[in-house]
Structure 1
């Protein structure tokens, strides 16, 4: 796969390129100068001055894009131009060019910049804006938030979770996690902190990934009561014969047809599944909604289940909402 790296000549990027090559990927390195980049195809592109056409050419034909670029100090204004404006423009180019995978490396603390020291806060707020933009693109994305970066030798061991305490991590170990994330679509839609730790990157990602037994999950979901099902495209049909779950009375969104056929849903027990819960204003209705999205191992959102309101009512049944919250708590793993 061709991987485009923004920031390939930086201190983390230089450590990443050989790892991508070792994994069998080709690398296109975006550089302002166009000078040769060992192990990669250099592509001249000044990210802060590039036009939409320039950025389209930069990501054309890629299977994944990695953002490692950073201003390396300087003013908040320069950080805004690179970490937010340029980064989001590159994301938009991926959308236009059909590049699905985007790994954004930012910084620990972007989840709550207001809790950070005052001198860091505006820089973290800039990175947080880029993270928010990425989440709305529809791309297959993962955000990685390293702690304090060092130039120490790689340890080959890290700690990964959606939230970690303070700490440091070697740039080489961050590069190893990024190289692993390129093909880890089960991490789609997630933001992870990374610090030095005791676990190899692949195993750390496995441990940080909520997994569910899809058959038990669906039967438990059915017990909630009034649930609406939308079926999206995905890869679960690869082993239909392994498990069949029969439901009656599912309300299925019109226009979504794949391996759903009448009341019968087919699932593979071999596939790793991840559940993403949410609530808030509905994209189309504007009303408060409660939903769970089920992702397959390729990071695709395959099923979306939402609570239904009683007929003629603008509000959800309080008992059903309480059941939803209990269901979410049951299927949400504790933080590592």
Structure 2
């Protein structure tokens, strides 16, 4: 995958590039000078002065963009120009160019700038504006909020979560978290604090979004009874063949098959998945619905499973609803 890196020549960016290379990614490094960047393809782009067309060219063809740029101190006006205006313009370029993923590295405290010292508050408020803009873009996004950054050698151990206490973290460890995030999609759509801790980045991320063995999950789901399946993804032949062969009590919804372009969905035991349960009025029917959405970490698509009503009935079978709730308890959500 091609990764576009804003802030590639900074102290964290320089540590991230070799990790991306080791993971098999290519890196396009955005720099004001266009000078060579070891391990990456340098692309000249002054983020604070680039036109929309120049930003489009900077992110074209990328699978993800990582924002590590920062003014490194200086006046508030400089921070506004880079951390908000330039960052949000790059996000918008990703939307225009169909870049699916954006990882934004900001700072701990952006969720509550008012609690920060007066000298720091305006800088956190600027970063918070960029975070809010990213959340509204429709991209698959993740925000990382490091604690106090150090240039110490990485320990390989971090703590990830929401509302973590005060702490420091090495730039190398932040880079390792970013590299791990880019290999998985099971934590898109959220903001995470990162400080030094006791777990590898992979372990820390797994604790927030545990592995879901999709094959066992599907056979557990079959025990519920009649289930409605809709597949959002690309070429879903393998998935549909598996469903029809093994889950004869399911009803497949052709309306939603191949709804999005993308690679083939599959039932691999080795791929991480994330389950989201829900119940309430259906978006289209307005009737009470019970469903589970299963997201593939590779971004390949989504399975949506919903309970079927008995033929001719406006209501679900109470026994089936009870089974759904029991099933839901068996797959609790990741810790918040």
Which category describes the TM-score, using the shorter chain as reference length?
Answer: 0.7 to 0.9
Give me the whole-angstrom Cα distance separating, in 2, the residues matched to 1:67 and 1:149. 16
Alignment-derived partner of residue 63 in structure 1: 63
Instruction: Check 1:274–1:78 CA distance in 2 against 1; reply closer, same or farther (3 A cut).
Output: same
Pick closer, same or farther for the CA change 1:238–1:270 going to 2, 3 Å: farther
Distance 1:18 1:117, change over 3 A: same
| Contact in 2 for aligned 1:227/1:250 (Cα 8 Å) | yes
Task: Report the TM-score, using the length of structure 1 for normalisation.
Answer: 0.76
Q: Which position in structure 2 is the counterpart of 1:93?
A: 93
For 1:207 and 1:188, the matched residues in 2 are separated by 15
Q: 1:23 to 1:222 in 2, by over 3 A?
A: closer
Greater displacement, 202-211 / 172-181: 202-211
CA distance in 1, matches of 2:270, 2:196: 31
Aligned length: 328
Instruction: Find the aligned partners of 1:94 and 1:237 in 2 and give their Cα distance.
Output: 30
**Does the 8 A contact of 1:240 with 1:267 survive in 2?**
no
Distance 2:28 2:185 in 1: 21
Matched residue of 1:185: which SS? coil
Contact 1:229/1:253 (<8 A) preserved: no
Which stretch shows the higher mean deviation, 61-70 or 47-56? 61-70
Bigger drift between 187-196 and 85-94 goes to 187-196
1: CA distance between counterparts of 2:217 and 2:101?
A: 27
- Give 1:8 shift: 0.9
CA–CA distance in structure 2, aligned partners of residues 186 and 247 of structure 1: 29
Contact 1:156 1:201 in 2 (8 A): yes
Is residue 154 of structure 2 the alignment partner of residue 154 of structure 1?
A: yes
CA distance in 1, matches of 2:225, 2:81: 49
Is residue 115 of structure 2 the alignment partner of residue 116 of structure 1?
yes
Moved more, 174-183 or 290-299: 290-299
CA-CA distance at 1:302 after TM superposition = 0.3
**Is residue 150–residue 170 contact of structure 1 (8 Å, CA) maintained in 2?**
yes
Q: Could you tell me how far 1:103 is from its partner in structure 2? A: 1.6
Q: Relative to 1, partners in 2 of residues 1:39 and 1:274: Cα closer, same or farther, differing over 3 Å?
A: same
2:41 aligned partner:
41
Q: Which residue of 2 aligns with 1:316?
A: none
- 8 A contact 1:236–1:271 mirrored in 2: no
Worse-matched range after superposition: 20-29 or 231-240: 231-240
Q: Could you say what secondary structure the match of 2:124 adopts?
A: helix
Structure-2 residue corresponding to 1:256: 257
The CA distance in 2 between the partners of 1:266 and 1:46, in whole Å, is 41
Check 1:62–1:168 CA distance in 2 against 1; reply closer, same or farther (3 A cut). same
State the 1:80 CA deviation. 2.8
- Structure 2: 5+ residue stretches without partners: 260-264, 315-319
Q: Provide the secondary structure at the position in 1 that maps to 2:233.
A: coil
Distance 1:130 1:266, change over 3 A: same
TM-score normalised by the chain length of structure 2:
0.76
Cα deviations by residue, 1:127-163 (Å, 9 ceiling, x for unpaired): 2332233233333332222111111111122122344
- Once residues 225 and 124 of structure 1 are traced to their aligned partners in structure 2, the CA distance between those partners, rounded to angstroms, is 51
Match of 1:5 in 2: 5
- C-alpha distance 255-212 of structure 1, shift in aligned 2 (>3 A): closer
> Residue 131 of structure 1 contacts residue 143 of structure 1 at CA under 8 Å; is this kept in 2?
yes
* Structure-2 change in CA distance of 1:217 and 1:25 (3 Å): closer
Structure 1 residue 57, shift from structure 2 partner: 1.1
Q: For structure 1, which segment, 15-24 or 48-57, has the greater mean C-alpha deviation from structure 2 after superposition? A: 15-24
1:19-75 deviation line (CA, Å, top 9, x unaligned):
223333332211122233233222221111111100011112323211101122234
Answer whether contact 2:235 2:258 (CA < 8 A) is retained.
no
Q: Which residue of 1 aligns with 2:73?
A: 73
- Quick check: 1:20 aligned with 2:25? no
CA distance in 1, matches of 2:209, 2:13: 25
Shift of 1:77: 3.6
Deviations 1:82-137 (A, max 9, x none): 22221121122122223223221112233x32563153444333323322332333
